[in-house]
Each structure stands twice: as C-alpha cells, then as structure tokens.
C-alpha cells in the first residue's frame, strides 16, 4: 500500500493487500476470545487463592473490581478486531466494485460518427 514517500502518490490501495490482511484480524479476534475464555475460566475455578488474611483481603478488594474491567476491555477488543475484519472485507469488495464502475465510465464508446467513418478525413 502507498506509504506517502512517492511524490504525487498518497495512497495506492491494492485489493489483494486488503484481502490478505483481513484474515489476520479475524484470527486475532478468535485467539483473543479463546485467551479471554481461558482466563475467565481459570480465575473462576481458582476462587480466591489469595486468602482472607489482611494482605489477602487488601489484594482481593483491589483486584476483583479490576478483573471485570479487564475482561470487559478484552471483550471490546474482540469485537473491535471482528469489526475491522468485516470492514476490510467490505472495503475490498467495494474497491473492486468502484474500480469496475470507473473503468466503465472511461471505456471508449464508439459514436455514430466513428462507426460510419463520417468523422474521418
């Protein structure tokens, strides 16, 4: 894709690049979702291994509210990666459609004068 280093060429979108990159976001969403599920299941299965002495209670009181925030944030990241994947697929499809539309607009069309030779000298 264009990196802006070539004068006059700001963006050069290649459909193949978009299609090649999209699956990485999908796989990232799957991997992060699996990791999040494993984390939640492991932590839920452990209960409160830090104990209930003074230090354990301090840790638990600080950790437990953050645990849900971390899980929630990771869930948002999964949705974001999925959204990026879907957007890249749509962008790729739209770019191809747009290229075909523009190519059709600039295709040489024979006029009546060109086809009957009337405009020739």
pTM of the model: 0.58
Structure tokens at 17: 């690049």
The helix/strand/coil state of 58 is helix
- Is residue 83 in some structural domain? yes
- Is residue 86 in some structural domain? yes
- Is residue 7 in some structural domain? no
Total tally of structural domains belonging to the chain: 1
Which residue range is the domain that position 41 belongs to? 15-108
- Assign residue 42 the CATH number of its domain: 1.10.287
- Is residue 120 in some structural domain? no
pLDDT tens digit at each of 121 positions of the chain: 445 566 555 567 677 888 888 899 999 999 999 999 998 888 888 888 888 999 999 999 998 889 889 889 999 999 999 999 888 888 877 766 666 666 666 666 666 655 555 555 4
């Amino acid at each position: 894709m264009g990196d802006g280093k070539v004068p006059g060429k700001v963006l050069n979108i290649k459909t193949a690049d978009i299609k090649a990159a999209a699956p990485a976001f999908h796989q990232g969403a799957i991997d992060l979702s699996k990791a999040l599920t494993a984390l939640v299941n492991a932590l839920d299965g452990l209960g409160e291994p830090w104990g209930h002495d003074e230090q354990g209670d301090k840790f638990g009181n600080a950790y437990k509210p953050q645990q849900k925030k971390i899980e929630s944030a990771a869930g948002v990241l999964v949705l974001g990666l999925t959204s990026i994947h879907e957007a890249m697929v749509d962008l790729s499809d739209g770019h191809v459609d747009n290229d075909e539309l523009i190519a059709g607009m600039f295709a040489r069309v024979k006029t009546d004068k060109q086809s009957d030779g009337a405009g020739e000298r």
